[in-house]
Amino acid sequence: MKEGNVIPEDFLLNNNRAVRLFNGYAKDLPIIDYHNHLPPQEIAENKKFANMTEIWLKGDHYKWRGMRALGVHENLITGTASDEEKFMAWAKVAPATVRNPLFHWTHMELKNPFGINTFLNEASAPLIYSHCNAVLAQDAYSTQGLLNHYKVKMVGTTDDPCDDLRYHRQIAESDFEVKVKPSFRPDKALVIEKKEQFKDYVSKLAQASSIAITDIDSLLAALKSRVRYFADHQCSISDHGLSALPFSYSLTDTEKREFESFLKTNDAVFSNPDAFAGYVLTELSKLYHELGWVQQFHLGAIRNNNLGMFARLGADAGYDSIGDFRHAERMSAFFGNLSLTDQLTKTIIYNLNPADNEVFAAMAGNFADGSVKGKLQFGSGWWFLDQKDGIEKQLNTLSNLGMVSNFVGMLTDSRSFLSYSRHEYFRRILCNLFGTEMENGQLPDDEAWIGKIISDICYYNAEDYFGLG
């Protein structure tokens, strides 16, 4: 296709120093994507996508949310319309996404890997759709081919404790050189307040672990057996998606007996779900420390707000939002308790509400103990905050209250194999931030000095933190 200049070579780089930092110290580095939601089956089977809609629009609740806001009918988003009709619907409204990050991400993803650098709109859509579909038919644009194209060194998928990890085994036994590591995500074992779902999950966990779960000790034994199973399959990362950390972290003997009764009785309700979640999570965190894992906490989302659409489409459909939970005392209590016995492992905390950036960054600094650089990390801007303004705010807050030179950098947190453009997006924003301060005298005008910090943030800090060197 004829190339335009939608995403120029100096995109987001507003001065010469920023350009030199990006080209010399960030652009060509590999990617460590330590948290995402890519399907391991699609990687193991080296899937090729039928068309652009399948790889680009299916499952992308960012785009779904934007399309709904612009008046696109649900049939053209998650409904029965054809893939081509869905692509054309997105293309028709894409011009109206200006100043939303979707506008930049859309065109960055078209440029890399498809080589398209012209605006997506109703007029250009047929040729773009045809071109991209032809590219996707090539072997080099399979799932494994795309990961190689983006120079991905490690993929950290998100996996339920009951998963048998068969596809991770298949990948590990193949000649595919990218490391695809599972991450242990035990959220379903913590939400005892959703009693029916919880009990169904306990049954699955008992089957997966071959441990009869009749009390709190056997529940923990089952979870810990799955942690060790995951460790045997190259897992060294856990992840937890919570509104907020539990405030309590112990159970009384009475509450332990209550849990036994809860498991046996259909209409029982557990009286202290916060303490239950805190107790289980604390015991898991101690095991993570023993195994040398990194634990992650994604905090602050309020999910499935549109109950009508949740009933129709289920979770992860674009109806989640930023919550206004209180985090400081909960983080202090949870991490402080683990520090009493020196059982706090390397930890990343992700904030979803920009009003809490300083709270998270300050809390992270409380648990530095000299054992490792950046032991408790204030994680990258995620979900609603992984756009230019959110990334800059996170970097500035971390710089002001912590050590940005220790930062482990960007992650995709995505279900799309095209989202690796967001690493480039982050790297350009990072280089522009540092380059601008070099230009105005706030940072040393020493390209090698600052360039090393850029390279560390983009790649080498994560390589060290996750033990991939």
Nearest C-alpha neighbor of 75 from the set 86, 65, 88:
86
- Is residue 55's pLDDT more than 60? yes
Q: What residue numbers bound the domain in which 85 lies?
A: 48-140
Mean pLDDT calculated for residue range 424-440? 98
Domain assignment present for residue 41? The answer is no
For the residues 73-84, what does the mean pLDDT come to? Answer: 97
183: DSSP letter = E
Confidence band, pLDDT 50/70/90 cuts, at residue 5: confident
Confidence of residue 469 (pLDDT cuts 50, 70, 90): confident
Same domain, 256 and 213: yes
Residues 6 or more apart whose Cβ sits within 8 Å of residue 237 = 34, 35, 156, 181, 183, 184, 293, 294, 295, 296, 466
The CATH code of the domain that includes 111 is 1.10.2020.10
% of the chain surpassing 70 pLDDT: 99
123 CB burial (10 A radius; 0-12, 13-18, 19+): exposed
One domain for residues 184 and 298:
yes
Model confidence pLDDT, tens digit, residues 391-400: 999 999 999 9
If asked whether residues 90 and 147 sit together in one domain, one would say: no
Q: How confident is the model at residue 3, as a pLDDT?
A: 58
Phi, psi of 211 (to 5 degrees): -125, 125
CB hemisphere CA count around 398 (13 angstroms): 27
Task: Map residue 189 onto helix, strand or coil.
Answer: helix
Mean of pLDDT over the chain: 96
Residue 258: CATH number of its domain: 3.20.20.140
**What's the total number of domains in the chain?**
2
The predicted-structure confidence for 291-334, as pLDDT tens digits, reads as follows 999 999 999 999 999 999 999 999 888 999 999 999 999 999 99
Task: Judge whether 6 lies within some domain.
Answer: no
Question: Does residue 9 belong to any structural domain of this protein?
Answer: no
Domain boundary among 123, 140, 157: 140
- 122 and 147 part of one domain: no
- Asked if residue 106 is part of any domain, the answer here is yes
In this structure, are 58 and 176 located in the same domain?
Answer: no
Q: Is residue 42 part of a domain?
A: no
Question: Does residue 91 sit in the same domain as residue 151?
Answer: no
